[in-house]
Amino acid sequence: DYSFQLPKKVRRAALCSVLSGKFREEKLLVLERLDLEEAKTKRFMAALKTLGVKDALIVLDGRDQILEKSSRNVRGIQVIECEGLNVHDILRHEYLVFLRSSLEKVERKLRP
């Protein structure tokens, strides 16, 4: 086994760096909430259109089955929980969309 695991401090520093880069580029959006009444891709696409986003990583604070089902067939959109946030996924997408509660969780996680 030749795998190599980065130290926790290095992973944290990389995540902070890429988050600040998205913020500087104005590619980081924070929403109060993203409510969909039912799991319909059409409604999800309408919400994305109002945001002006086509390729995005959406970070949630917990599981939201309606949002996950609505976004499943949309090209360029990935929905993850904040515990699974990583540098690779952030760099793969143009925009990073946080819900306010998930951003607060990530901030607490990144504090030393």
Mean pLDDT over residues 47-73, rounded? 91
Q: Cα separation of 87 and 14, whole Å?
A: 7
pLDDT at res. 111: 85
Question: How many domains, in total, are found in the chain?
Answer: 1
- For 19, residues 6+ apart whose C-beta sits below 8 A from its C-beta are 28, 90, 96, 106
> For residue 64, is pLDDT > 90?
no
What pLDDT digit, counting tens, does each position of 10-59 carry? 999 999 999 999 999 999 999 998 888 888 999 999 999 999 999 999 99
> For residue 74, is pLDDT > 80?
yes
Give domain status of residue 21, yes or no: yes
Give domain status of residue 18, yes or no: yes
Mean pLDDT across the chain? 92
**Is residue 80 helix, strand or coil?**
strand
Domain containing 58 equals: 8-110
Provide the CATH number for the domain around residue 28.
Answer: 3.40.1370.10
